[in-house]
Amino acid sequence: MELIAPALWSDYELIDTGDFQKLERFGDFIVTRPEPKAIWDRALTEKEWQKLSHATFRKTKDFDPGDKEERGEWFLKPEMKEQWYVNFKYDSLNFKMRLGLTPFKHVGIFPEQAVNWTYIYDHLSAYKQQPRFLNLFAYTGAASIVAKAAGADVVHVEALKQLIGWSKSNMEASGQSDIRWLLEDAAKFVKREVRRGNFYQGIILDPPAYGRGPTGEKWILEEGIRDLLDDVAKILSPENSFIIVNLYAKGINPLITENLFNGAFGNTPDKQLGELYMEDRAGRKLPYGTLLRMER
């Protein structure tokens, strides 16, 4: 097992962490959000946080962070925009994401996933024939856009209609087109792909701890991940392929992830397993769950 962190990119910075919060810069704006794993003291003072932050999220209901989303509201300074863009550049890859302040503390991007964007781009770009790429629990589409930029035939599966629309706007802002958008329950879609005998050369799944499908299907990671991985193993091409699994939930660690993965794929030697993290200015490493990547 190893510690895995994305390379620095100019439009994102984890400035400070502590007291169950994190201070982050997304492009031109700095936001304060809850972070249940930041149980240590802050490096900066409360006065410094208030001076730097353009928007602060405050919870209105106390949900278990490992179970349900934290709902709340944002408190904004006058100069803060409710929507803005950030850019990500790597090699010949250059894409743009529209951000926004949601009532669930999210802003439309998971910056720690940059470590997977570069991995996806490098691997898909190396294929001589057009690969097929599947993005499950696809959120606002960063991995889909990266895969399309690398030349892949991309299938994007997301259960919330508004996130499909958000992903489309990100695709258009990034100068891409022809991603296949599916408003689907991820587990049901994969089961159908198994029956159809379809295969993919690249698959990423970054499931939430808790969620709902488009018709109210309930998803709890601990209850659904084993069957999902079993089915995903049946649609990953047996040769010249890769899979990325990122699990962020209370009680899930690299050992559990490895056991789940080995149960579905076998104890394969060509895999990378570790804890995904990002580092703040003071050098504290904030964990973002287990990351497992395997190549064939």
CATH code of the domain in which 12 resides: 2.60.40.1180
Tell whether 239 and 279 lie within a shared domain. Answer: yes
Q: In which element (H, E) is residue 159 found?
A: none
- Of 7, 3, 33, 8, nearest to 19 by C-alpha is 33
pTM above 0.85, yes or no: yes
Range of the domain at 20: 6-83
Tell whether 128 and 242 lie within a shared domain. Answer: yes
Tell whether 130 and 42 lie within a shared domain. Answer: no
Tell whether 140 and 270 lie within a shared domain. Answer: yes
Tell whether 157 and 215 lie within a shared domain. Answer: yes
Residue 281 has φ and ψ, to the nearest 5°, of -60, -30
Q: Which amino acid type is present at position 109?
A: I
Count of structural domains, the chain: 2
Tell whether 59 and 135 lie within a shared domain. Answer: no
Tell whether 135 and 219 lie within a shared domain. Answer: yes
Angle at 13 between CA 10 and CA 17, to 5 degrees: 175
- The C-alpha atoms of residue 196 and residue 170 are separated, in whole angstroms, by 30
pLDDT of 69: 60
- The C-alpha atoms of residue 49 and residue 12 are separated, in whole angstroms, by 17
In a domain, 102, yes or no: no
pLDDT of 267: 87
CATH classification of the domain holding 253: 3.40.50.150
Tens digits of residue pLDDT in 106-156: 999 999 999 999 999 999 999 999 999 999 999 999 999 999 999 999 999
In a domain, 103, yes or no: no
Other C-beta atoms within 10 Å of 81: how many?
15
pLDDT surpasses 60 at 41: yes
Q: Is 177 exposed, middle or buried (0-12, 13-18, 19+ CB in 10 A)?
A: exposed
